Structure 1
Amino acid sequence: MAAPLSSWPWQNLGSLKYLLYGPFIAQVVRLWMHGERIQDSWCFHILWLSALRAFLHQLWTSYSNMHFLNLRRRILPQGVDFKQIDQEWDWDNFLILHAFVAAMACLLLPPSFFNVPVMNSKGFITALFLHVLVSEPLYYLFHRFLHSDFLFRHYHSLHHSSPVPQPFTAEHATLLEHLALIPIMSIPLFGSSLIGHGSIGLFYGYILAFDFMRCLGYCNIEVFPHQIFETFSFFRYLLYTPTYHTIHHTKKDSNFCLFMPIFDFLGNTLDINAWELQKKISSNPGKNVRVPDFVFLAHIVDFSAAMHPPFVFRSFASLPYSLRLFIVPAWPFTFIAMLMLWAWAKSFMVSMCELKGKLLHTWTVPRFGFQYFLPFATKGINKQIEQAILKADRLGVKVLSLAALNKNESLNGGGVLFVNKHPNLRVRVVHGNTLTAAVILNELPADVKEVFLTGATSKLGRAIALYLCRRKVQVMMLTLSTERFQKVQKEAPLECQKYLTQVTKYQTAKSCKTWIVGKWITPREQSWAPPGTHFHQFVVPPILHFRKDCTYGDLAAMRLPEDVQGLGACEYTMDRGVVHACHAGGVVHTLEGWTHHEVGAVDVDRIDIVWQAALKHGFKLVSWNQKS
């Protein structure tokens, strides 16, 4: 049985909890419709302040997850995983609680109490004194009390269950803890108002400053230069740092203060290594940063998908991508951000995780999908990919894998361009198509006798056709080029060439129920497939699900092994823990320690080798997981 006041009254409402703001919104709308000043309504200020506080937490969380800016100053190096994100999903419960407590105060206190000016400088000075002399020591004592055996087990352990501090972690606590924090936080505000120094600016300023400092402590990025605390040594007792507070989350028995370490000093709970660690991180940024063993070089699909990385909306990134209404208003800002990234013209890191002792990064090229099909953009895109490869080479990355459009045949020959241009690369460039082919082939029914293949002479199409014909499966290869067909056919063993057939029309496949789609097909072209057909595909973008009497496979993908750590973002439309097969292929290349480049044409003889290596390391077909 849960301890009293450990859960929130609206915890089962899900997103419907935001309807609790309804009375405040209704009151503001009523005033607006009657032509009254909504700025004079406490409902307006409660709503506006709640929105500002949520925005402040979001900004800090975005900054915390901008690994391309702050990786060198991270305190705890591991990534935030799905478990922590789910635990902190309702981090904003405290805002609803504070809104209702503020409403009760407005109803119970006399109206004269809130008849305050917009600004009163004396109020800020009074609030500062009350905060230092009353709120800080009260919080320190309360926090230490929470670490007593009973309260920690039943209440405060929830807050400490998050392994990596983030700004949202600051508010991830039980109802009891937030109820106790309200009076501690309110003393400077109400004390200043009672002596006549209150103001609207004080309410906004103090509350937002309080949240800002909380987010600062939980950001997991050391933002202060150590010189400040060496030049002004007393500052170390007046202002805590992110490193100082992170120590509390790792050791739990020290550094209990709210914002001022002097109370830990007075209470003999100060960790003496706090400033030494802070100096180490801030004076040698990046010195102890691990070089990734593997980098997956992705690209941006479109404007809305550009808002899917963790540094935009952490919760949104932790779910498979789909177009949501709440991101539509952000499109103009996304466009401006992308213009800035194009001007910067460098790949940047978006996520990281760890698998079997190997550090895996995902970088992205700041280009949208449609740009890859513009002839005049080819040179610029290849330059950005090349810069990313050379950067990985300088860092000491072992393997770099290219995402779908970054290895386009017409763009760079599946990575051949870069390997030929830089023959002395230490980083291995991998297109991952060998495992992609293996995934597609192993998703086919074991008893398949005939397949219809579009995109038949592409890198993947060629490999699939040659593999199947060796197993005496009849392959109808859709291509208008007899020369390209014959080139592929001649690669097959003489006794297997009869299993490869050139076709030029979709009508030819009207009795074949296994289609492998490597070139985008229209709904009209799909109509030639017989009922019950399954469309396997390796085409980007995926084909439309037009036929109700047929089934459609997703793009080739694999589920990562269960021991992956620090993974908290979905790869585009893939489920949690699922990555595109080319991504998985690069990871397998790293885990196996292979030293060859995997570029250009797929080596058909290696398809089974790569497949068995993937299974050995715990990778699974997504379809297997669905069946189980």
Structure 2
Amino acid sequence: MYQKYLLCCPLAARVLYSWIYEETLGDLWCLYILILYLLRAGLHQLWNTYVNMLFFTRNRKIKQQGYDFKQIDQEWDWDNFLILHVLISAMACLIFPSLGDLPFWNSKGLITLLLLHVTISEPLYYWGHRLFHDTYLFTHYHSLHHSSPVLHPFTGGHATFLEQLLLSIVTGIPIAGSILMGYGSASMIFGYLLVFDFLRCLGHSNVEVVPHEIFSKLPFLRYLIYTPTYHSLHHTEMGTNFCLFMPLFDAIGKTLNSKSWQLHQKISSDSAKKGRVPDFVFLAHVVDISSAMHVPFVFRSFASQPFSTRIYLVPIWPITFMFMLIMWAWSKTFLLTFYNLRGRLHQTWVVPRFGFQYFLPFATDGINKHIEEAILRADRMGIKVISLAALNKNEALNGGGTLFVNKHPELKVRVVHGNTLTAAVILHEIDNDVKEVFLTGATSKLGRAIALYLCQKRIRVLMLTLSTERFQKIQREAPADCQNYLVQVTKYQAAQNCKTWIVGKWITPREQSWAPPGTHFHQFVVPPILNFRRDCTYGDLAAMRLPEDVQGLGSCEYTMGRGVVHACHAGGVVHQLEGWTHHEVGAIDVDRIDLVWEAALKHGLRPVSSVK
């Protein structure tokens, strides 16, 4: 996957060799080519960042659809054309060594470049593009570029090798022409290619950033510069809008889409209005600084894979830390992702607080304030259900959401902790022939529900807790004929003969050592416990796979696989799909566990645990 970058290594090696052994930077053209490559790649990345900042761009979207995993995989090697240009540039410099001696600036070169672009590159691209829409060429070459359902800055680089070669000619003619006329300069090459890439990204951004007022005041500009809306019409009505950057050539060739200006005006005007209101919101939080990079507006490819620590992300850790401080100062809830399920829009918002902050006593009020503001905002917008992620519903923090429901009894949005489905997922992982389980975190919200459910199934539950009072309170909730199935234990040694552990509180490798060989560790603890025992097996965190008809989902939820969400997230989805009108906060209603489980299966959600 990454071997292609080795093609740039000879240039980097030449720069390092001359720097270290020759004590000078010989063959500066090698360094220039590498710098230009990095600048162009960085420009595309910045456009990706902007496009995926949904908290900025959601009302400016041209096509209201997310980027799914299929499109992300198709466009994975979008930067192949940049490497191709590196190789072409290196060959040109080897053949014509004098290219490395170009002056930094030549104003005549910029004028020549502009004239050659308008008179040669623009019409050449226009007629070549029309030719590629011929049946044979489109089927065998150009259809790949049009296979992306939603335009993205990376879509511009998603094309066949033949197309990339021809595009290289289009970009190379103005540069080569200016150099041959004696007006070449380094700034001309850098500036032209960066502006070229900027405009390509602009057209493929799916976000309308050009104000319609400009064209109202200066109508002639409509024919000199295209807009994202203009180019998006080419991908929906492919017989129109073929130009490179200047609609003038579509007007001359009579391929100008008659809806171009009206649609642009509508989308630009509507950007000031409120967009579509989602039916469901999952209120997430950041776990740590590394996981903060696992969002689509940082690296789309990274976000489309389950989270893991990547070495190549270490250099941007300080930048992420600075953004963390900015998020704290701004203190606004951010819209991260959205997907469409059964025609209903689901969004993920994130509270700008990191995992460690939830365990600082003095931070409690501030965190609850942000969660409350998010809930009230959802209520004002008309959202039906808001589901709280793991630490946002911590019992010690806000009683599993009870604090907000009691404080605002008039809420129309339903607040859901989703733990009923979490309990159901864990319970349905347990083999039918299990007669005894060992439960840590036994008096927590989930631990209590799991213990009460299992004892009613006549399964002996060893509840690890030092609080006899809390144990007895839970025991009294069980039916009288089931209470003897709940057993209080105070040490891990009590489970040395039990092969089914349900872990709701983080346990150390030493504590795990008391489990007998062959034990399976079910868990609902965040972060997950370490897979320390090779003679034991470990279950995943409770999660469910979304239905196959979900649309626009292109990022993974933390360490979950593609299309998989935490069970509490799925619980909120089910709550919304079922149209339930009650709040799901506080203690789990044990009698609803099977009901919620069946509802989840009915709507196409499936468990994904690796148990059994």
TM-score range, shorter chain: over 0.9
Q: What is the RMSD computed on CA atoms of the aligned residues?
A: 1.2
Following the alignment from structure 2 to structure 1, what is the Cα–Cα distance between the partners of residues 224 and 25?
39
**Which of 20, 23, 27 lines up with 1:33 in the alignment?**
20
Aligned to 1:8: none
The reply to whether residue 443 of structure 1 matches residue 429 of structure 2 is yes
Partner residue of 1:580? 566
Confirm or deny that 1:140 pairs with 2:123: no
Matching residue of 1:246: 232
Contact 2:117 2:174 (C-alpha < 8 Å) held by counterparts: yes
Residue by residue over 1:549-592, the C-alpha shift from the partner in whole angstroms, topping out at 9 and shown as x without a partner, is: 11111110011111111000000000001100000000000110
C-alpha deviations, 1:452-504, integer Å up to 9, x for none? Answer: 11111110000001101111111111111111011101111111111111111
Counterpart mapping for 1:384-403 below 5 A: 384-403=370-389
Superposition pairs of residues 8-407 of structure 1, within 5 angstroms: 14-38=1-25, 40-109=27-96, 111-285=97-271, 287=273, 289-407=275-393
Which has the larger displacement, 301-310 or 185-194?
185-194
- Report how far residue 113 of structure 1 moved: 4.8
Letter matched to residue 80 of structure 2: N
Taking the aligned partners of 1:255 and 1:80, their CA distance within structure 2 comes to: 23
**Residue matched to 1:4:** none
1:513 to 499, 512, 521: 499
Report the 3-state secondary structure (helix = DSSP H, G, I; strand = E; otherwise coil) of the residue aligned with 1:425.
coil
Secondary structure in 1 matching 2:356: helix
CA contact (8 A) 2:456 2:479 kept: yes
Spell out, residue by residue over 1:56-96, the C-alpha distance to the aligned partner (whole angstroms, 9 max, x if none). 10100111100011101111110000000000000111111
Deviation at 1:117, TM superposition (A): 1.0
Name the amino acid aligned to 2:324: M
Equivalent residue of 1:78, what SS?
coil
Deviations for 1:345-397, whole angstroms, at most 9, x for unmatched residues? Answer: 11111111011111110111111101000000101100110111111111111
What amino acid sits opposite 1:443 in the alignment?
A: E
Equivalent pair of 1:559/1:579 in contact (CA under 8 Å): yes
2:100 and 2:486 map into 1 onto residues whose CA distance is 84
1:602 pairs with 2:588: yes
> Is the alpha carbon distance of 1:286 and 1:576 closer, same or farther for their aligned partners in structure 2, counting shifts above 3 Å?
farther
Q: Percent of aligned positions with the same letter in both sequences?
A: 69
Letter in 2 for 1:508: A
Residue identity opposite 2:174 in structure 1: P
Q: Residue type matched to 2:445 in 1?
A: K
Asked if the contact 1:91–1:168 (Cα under 8 Å) also holds between the matched residues in 2, the reply is: yes
Determine the C-alpha separation between the residues in 1 that align with 2:556 and 2:272.
27
Confirm or deny that 1:492 pairs with 2:478.
Answer: yes
- Post-superposition CA distance 1:324-355 (Å, at most 9, x none): 00111111111110111111111111111011
Residue of structure 1 in register with 2:413 after alignment: 427
d(CA) in 2 for partners of 1:531 and 1:285?
61
Alignment partners' CA distance in 2, 1:304 and 1:162: 30
**1:187 CA drift (Å):** 1.2
**1:556: which partner in 2?**
542
The equivalent of 1:473 in structure 2 is 459
What secondary structure is seen at the aligned counterpart in 1 of 2:432? coil
Instruction: Please report the TM-score for the alignment, with normalisation by the length of structure 2.
Output: 0.99
Q: Which moved more, 1:152-161 or 1:188-197?
A: 188-197
CA–CA distance in structure 1, aligned partners of residues 552 and 382 of structure 2: 22
Judge conservation of contact 1:123–1:192 (CA < 8 Å) in 2. yes
After superposition, the C-alpha distances for 1:507-553 in whole angstroms (9 at most, x for unaligned) are 11110000001111111111111000000010111111111111111
Partner secondary structure for residue 219 of structure 2: coil
Structure 2 portions without partners, runs of 5+: none
**How many Å apart are 1:115 and its aligned residue?**
3.0
The residue identity in structure 2 corresponding to 1:608 is D
Check whether the contact 2:18–2:26 (CA below 8 A) recurs between aligned residues.
no
Give 1:62's aligned amino acid: T
SS of equivalent residue, structure 1 residue 144: helix
Which of 515, 526, 530 is matched with 1:529 structurally? Answer: 515
Residue 444 of structure 1 deviates from its aligned partner by 0.4
The answer to whether the Cα contact below 8 Å between 1:39 and 1:45 also exists between their aligned partners in 2 is no
Q: Is the 8 A contact 2:458 2:482 kept in 1?
A: yes
Q: Is the 8 A contact 1:226 1:278 kept in 2?
A: yes
CA distance in 2, matches of 1:500, 1:440: 18
Amino acid at match of 2:5: Y
Per-residue displacement from partner, 1:209-241 (whole Å, max 9, x unpaired)? 100110111111110111000000000000000
Q: CA deviation at 1:181?
A: 1.0
The one-letter code of the counterpart of 1:366 is P
Partner of 1:10: none
Aligned-partner residue type, residue 139 of structure 2: R
Deviation at 1:101, TM superposition (A): 1.0
1:1-59 Cα offsets, whole Å, 9 max, x none, are: xxxxxxxxxxxxx2111111121111111211234543752111111111111111010
Q: Is contact 1:239-1:261 (8 Å) kept?
A: yes
What letter corresponds to residue 44 of structure 1 in structure 2? L
For 1:361, what is the secondary structure of its paired residue?
strand
User: Is the Cα contact below 8 Å between 2:542 and 2:609 reproduced in 1?
Assistant: no
CA distance in 1 between partners of 2:99 and 2:14 (Å): 20
Aligned to 1:592: 578
Map Cα deviations across residues 603-624 of structure 1 (whole Å, 9 max, x no partner): 0010000000000011111037
Equivalent AA in structure 2 for residue 51 of structure 1: L
Q: Which amino acid aligns with 2:53?
A: M
User: 1:7: which partner in 2?
Assistant: none
Q: Which residue of 2 aligns with 1:11?
A: none
Q: Distance in 2 between matches of 1:38 and 1:154?
A: 45
In 2, the alpha carbon distance for the partners of 1:470 and 1:406 equals 30
